[in-house]
Amino acid sequence: GGGSSVGEHSDEDAPSSDDLEQFAKQFKQRRIKLGFTQADVGLALGTLYGNVFSQTTICRFEALQLSFKNMCKLKPLLNKWL
C-alpha cells in the first residue's frame, strides 16, 4: 500500500487512468493467484466494509469498464483487500 490518505477530494490525488489500468492488471493477477473468484472478492469487501460488491462490478473494474469515479472509489478498497 501507498501512504495516501483516503477521503481527500483533490484531483491531484486521484489516480490517473494509467494507474488504474496498472492496478486492475495487478489486482486480477493477484486474485487469480490466490484462487479467488470475482464474486469472492465482492463478498470479502462486504465483510470488510459492509458494502458488498457484485461479481459484475469486480469484473467491470478489472476490464476498466466502470466510470472513472467508481474506479477511483473501488481502488483503495481493493488495494486494502490485496
pLDDT in tens, 13-34: 667 889 999 999 999 999 999 9
Give this prediction's pTM: 0.77
Counting the structural domains of the chain, the total is 1
Cell of 59: 469484473
Local confidence band at 12 (pLDDT 50, 70, 90 cut-offs): low
Question: Is 64 inside a domain boundary?
Answer: yes
Instruction: Assign residue 26 the CATH number of its domain.
Output: 1.10.260.40
Structural domain includes residue 8: no
DSSP states of 30-77? HHHHHT--HHHHHHHHHHHHS----HHHHHHHHTT-S-HHHHHHHHHH
For residue 1, being part of any structural domain is answered with no
Q: Is residue 4 part of a domain?
A: no
| Grid cell listed for 58 | 469486480
